[in-house]
């Protein structure tokens, strides 16, 4: 399992803005993506190989706003793909998603669990390297 913590993400409703030339990323999304990207690189997570299950735990009580938890999934999920932590966010890779509120979390904690029975028999690049290095193929 890979566990990492990122800053609290912007809502899907605030990721893009409409301009006369079409839709562009909002400055709020760009700022979050930059900060979250640095935090992700600092944590140096392993990269999951093949299908995964994702569990998102979002900071509860951050403010008094009512929030739609599903609108908070897109930005961190896309960031995982951008940095190669998961291979894609489509149905061939992401097999299940769970989202919860948690008062003990600051920002968002993401648990990535490689699914049993990955075609290549491994769940992360680190596990595969260990298996290859020990002859556990």
Amino acid 64: pLDDT = 82
More confident call, 60 vs 120:
60
Question: Domains, the chain, ranges and CATH?
Answer: 2-134 (3.30.1330.70)
- For the record, the structure tokens of 32 come out as 């979050």
Q: How far is CA 109 from CA 10, 18, 87, 129, in A?
A: 15, 30, 19, 26
Residue 119's pLDDT band, with cuts at 50, 70 and 90, is very low
- For the record, the structure tokens of 122 come out as 């491994």
Residue 131's pLDDT band, with cuts at 50, 70 and 90, is very low
Three-state secondary-structure class, residue 20: coil
Residue 120's pLDDT band, with cuts at 50, 70 and 90, is very low
Residue 118's pLDDT band, with cuts at 50, 70 and 90, is low
pTM reported for the whole predicted model: 0.82
């Amino acid at each position: 399992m890979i566990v990492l913590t990122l800053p609290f993400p912007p809502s899907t409703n605030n990721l893009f803005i409409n301009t006369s030339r079409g839709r562009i990323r909002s400055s709020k999304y760009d700022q979050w993506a930059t900060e979250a990207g640095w935090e992700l690189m600092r944590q140096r997570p392993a990269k999951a190989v093949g299908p995964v299950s994702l569990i998102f735990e979002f900071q509860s009580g951050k403010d008094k706003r009512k929030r739609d938890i599903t609108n908070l999934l897109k930005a961190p999920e896309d960031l995982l793909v951008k940095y190669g932590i998961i291979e894609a966010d489509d149905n061939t890779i992401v097999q299940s998603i769970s989202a919860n509120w948690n008062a003990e979390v600051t920002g968002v904690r993401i648990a990535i669990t490689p699914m049993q029975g990955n075609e290549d028999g491994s769940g992360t690049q680190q596990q595969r390297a260990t298996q290859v290095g020990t002859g556990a193929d």
